[in-house]
Structure 1
């Protein structure tokens, strides 16, 4: 493989081959990046909902314990 590329001009190695790889695998790369972004968004939404639930429960528990002191 190295012998094949050794006789090629620089622009074939550094421009044409990466461009062809992006054309061929571009859809796959986009799908993987899209899935990772979607997954991170879902994780952030989950963390925000759990944090909000913990906040509401603590507020409710603090309010109910001060009422029971009567």
Structure 2
């Protein structure tokens, strides 16, 4: 690989080749980045919803008068 770029000017290696790679693989790169961000967003949303559900259930159980004499092992 070094032999190929040995006689080329610096701008070919550091400007032209990355631009050509972005043009050729730009759609693929964008879709992969979009997929990763979507997956991260959905994972964070899932964690937030489960945490909120656990918080609401614990608050509801602690206010329920029938739960004061029972244990959580009854579930």
Is TM (by shorter chain) over 0.5?
A: yes
Partner SS, residue 8 of structure 1? coil
Determine whether 1:6 maps to 2:6: yes
Distance in 2, Cα, partners of 1:37 & 1:51? 21
TM-score, scaled relative to structure 1:
0.89
Distance in 2, Cα, partners of 1:61 & 1:17? 62
Distance in 1, Cα, partners of 2:61 & 2:49? 18
Structure 2 runs not aligned, ≥5 long: 69-75
Offset at 1:2?
A: 1.4
TM-score, scaled relative to structure 2:
0.83
Higher relative contact order (CA 8 A, sep 6+): 1
Identify the residue that residue 56 of structure 2 maps to in structure 1: 56
Cα root mean square deviation, aligned: 1.1
Which runs of at least 4 in structure 1 moved beyond 6 Å after TM superposition? none
- Give the structure with the higher percent helix: 1
Structure 1 runs not aligned, ≥5 long: none
